[in-house]
Structure 1
Amino acid sequence: MIEIGQLPNARAAQAFIDYLKGLGIECYTEASPHGVTIMLADPQYETTARDEFNQFIQTPYDSKYLQASWDNGDTQSKFDYGSGTLGLVQQFLTNAGPLTLITFGICVIVYAAMNLGFANSVFETLSFFNAVPESHSGEFWRIFTPSLMHFSALHIIFNLLWWWYLGGKIETKLGTRPLFFLLLIAGTLPNIAQYLMTGPNFGGLSGVVYAVVGYTWLMGVRQPSCGISLPQSYMGFMMIWLVLGFTDLLGMPIANGAHIGGLTVGLAQALFDSRKSSLKH
Structure 2
Amino acid sequence: MSEQPITIEENGKCLQALVQLQDHNIALLFANYIATQGIASKVVATQDHSFVVFCQQDSLAQAKAEFDAFIQHPYDGKYQQAAWQHGDTVEVRANDLTLLKSFKENFLSHAGMMTLTVFALCWLVFLASILGWAQPIFSSVKFYHQLSVDAFLHEPLRLLGPAIFHFSWLHIVFNTMWWWQIGGSIEKLLGKGVLINLTLISAIGSNVGQFIVSGPNFGGLSGVVYALVGFVWWYGYLKPDSGLTLSKPIIGFLLFWLLLGFAELLPVNMANTAHLIGLISGCLYAIFTVKVANK
Tell me the TM-score range normalised by the shorter chain: 0.7 to 0.9
1:152 counterpart = 2:168: yes
Please point out which of 136, 139, 151 is paired with 2:155: 139
Partner residue, 2:122: 107
**One-letter amino acid of the structure 2 residue matched with residue 11 of structure 1:** K
8 Å CA contact 1:10–1:36 kept in 2: the answer is no
Please point out which of 222, 229, 238 is paired with 2:254: 238
Superposition TM-score, scaled by structure 1 size? 0.74
1:199 counterpart = 2:239: no
**One-letter amino acid of the structure 1 residue matched with residue 239 of structure 2:** Q
Number of residue pairs matched by the alignment: 230
CA distance in 2 between partners of 1:15 and 1:264 (Å): 43
Please point out which of 61, 74, 94 is paired with 1:22: 61
Deviation of the 1:18 alpha carbon: 6.4
1:11 counterpart = 2:42: yes
CA distance in 1 between partners of 2:242 and 2:170 (Å): 32
CA distance in 1 between partners of 2:85 and 2:290 (Å): 27
Please point out which of 151, 160, 163 is paired with 2:179: 163
Partner residue, 1:70: none
Structure 2 unaligned regions, length at least 5? 1-32, 44-52, 71-78, 89-95
Instruction: State the Cα deviation string for residues 29-71 of structure 1 (Å, max 9, x = none).
Output: 437444449xxxxxxxxxxxxxxxxxxxxxxxxxxxxxxxxxx
CA distance in 1 between partners of 2:194 and 2:261 (Å): 28
Partner residue, 1:181: 197
Aligned partner of residue 278 in structure 2, secondary structure: helix
Instruction: State the Cα deviation string for residues 134-180 of structure 1 (Å, max 9, x = none).
Output: x9442111111100000000000000000000000000111111100
Aligned partner of residue 188 in structure 1, secondary structure: helix
CA distance in 2 between partners of 1:201 and 1:276 (Å): 36
Partner residue, 2:245: 229
1:220 counterpart = 2:249: no
Instruction: State the Cα deviation string for residues 61-98 of structure 1 (Å, max 9, x = none).
Output: xxxxxxxxxxxxxxxxxxxx753111101100000000
Partner residue, 1:116: 131
8 Å CA contact 1:190–1:259 kept in 2: the answer is yes
8 Å CA contact 2:202–2:224 kept in 1: the answer is yes
Aligned partner of residue 241 in structure 2, secondary structure: helix
1:88 counterpart = 2:103: yes
| Cα distance change of structure 1 residues 172 and 200 upon mapping to structure 2, 3 Å threshold | same
CA distance in 1 between partners of 2:201 and 2:244 (Å): 20
Aligned partner of residue 129 in structure 1, secondary structure: coil
Aligned partner of residue 11 in structure 1, secondary structure: strand
| Cα distance change of structure 1 residues 10 and 190 upon mapping to structure 2, 3 Å threshold | farther
Structure 1 unaligned regions, length at least 5? 38-80
Q: Percent identity?
A: 36
CA distance in 1 between partners of 2:57 and 2:193 (Å): 36
1:247 counterpart = 2:278: no
CA distance in 1 between partners of 2:170 and 2:97 (Å): 27
CA distance in 2 between partners of 1:16 and 1:171 (Å): 31
Deviation of the 1:113 alpha carbon: 1.0
CA distance in 2 between partners of 1:268 and 1:258 (Å): 15
| Cα distance change of structure 1 residues 244 and 5 upon mapping to structure 2, 3 Å threshold | farther
Instruction: State the Cα deviation string for residues 193-227 of structure 1 (Å, max 9, x = none).
Output: 00111111000000100011111111111112322
Look at both structures and tell me which one has the larger radius of gyration over its CA atoms: 2
**One-letter amino acid of the structure 2 residue matched with residue 263 of structure 1:** L
| Cα distance change of structure 1 residues 243 and 6 upon mapping to structure 2, 3 Å threshold | farther
Partner residue, 2:93: none
